[in-house]
Amino acid sequence: MIATARDLRPDQPALTRLAALAPLEADTAATLQVLIERARLVAKRRELMSEGRPIVEPQLIVSGWAARLRLLIDGRRQFLGFVLPGDIIGLSRHPRPIAASTVIALTDVTMCTPPRIGIFPELDEAYSVGQALDEGYAFAQITRLGRLDAQDRISDLLLELHERLSLNGMAVGGAFDLPLTQEILADTLGLTTVHVNRMLQMAKQNGDLTWTAGRIGLNNPSLLARKVGRSPVKVFGNRLV
């Protein structure tokens, strides 16, 4: 029996995402469910991985938000991308992998060690597709910082988060929870907090979005994507995302 994303409960974003990347056999989904139920808690602001240090084992994010970042010697920081439920950090085929960036918990996070590569073929496929998506999101971040203006940077990032949260079942329509401060957005997009606030207010006035009590609503994601010129990330011919 094959388990797809539609077969899973909406409160299982990690399983939902993996099943969306590659349909899972029932025994694979059951194994993942057991591991997820044993997930351990990491408190907000704690490091999940540290740049330059050995990666002991990969981790599947079960709940909460984390971020990849680089810290500069003078204390400034650059957020490279966000890590959401269903994402895997530290996955490598190298026998002694080293973390290329620090990963920090932005909220309380739960995570578990997923099955290693080579045990479940369809899970290996999900891992491969997930890694290709991660690469696509990294390229999108480079493009945002290098070529988009401030307004389009914010819109493009929110569209990416909407796409990713739709994949794991955490976005309903155009709405999703966004536990990010304007300071974090500024350090992600290479802007000041004042500029971020101004651009968000402009987006609200233009009718592109609503933002109330930590929840974002994109009023018309398709129209906003056309305005920004954003195309969904696609890998291996799959319809993602």
Residues 215-233 pLDDT 10s: 999 999 999 999 999 987 7
Number of domains in the chain: 1
In a domain, 222, yes or no: yes
Does the residue 235 lie in any domain? Answer: no
Tell me if 31 is assigned to some domain: yes
Domain, as residue range, for 143: 2-228
In a domain, 238, yes or no: no
Residue 237 lies in a domain: no
Question: Residues of the chain whose pLDDT is less than 70?
Answer: 1-10, 234-241
The answer to the question of residue 104 being in a domain is: yes
87: in domain: yes
The b/e string for 160-192 (b: 16+ C-beta within 10 A; e otherwise) is: bbbbbbbbbbbbeebbbebebebebbbbbbebe
Contacts 24+ apart (CB under 8 A), 207-211: 208/155, 209/158, 211/178
List b or e across 70-98, with b for residues whose CB sees 16 or more CB atoms inside 10 angstroms. eeeeeeebbbbbbbbbbbbbbbeeeeeee
- pLDDT at residue 4, as a whole number: 55
Asked, for residue 234, whether it belongs to a domain, the answer is: no
Residues 45, 34: contact at Cβ < 8 Å? no
* Amino acid 3: pLDDT: 56
CATH code (residue 215): 2.60.120.10
The HSE-up count of residue 115 (CA atoms within 13 Å, CB side) is 22
Distance CA(112)–CA(119), nearest Å, equals 17
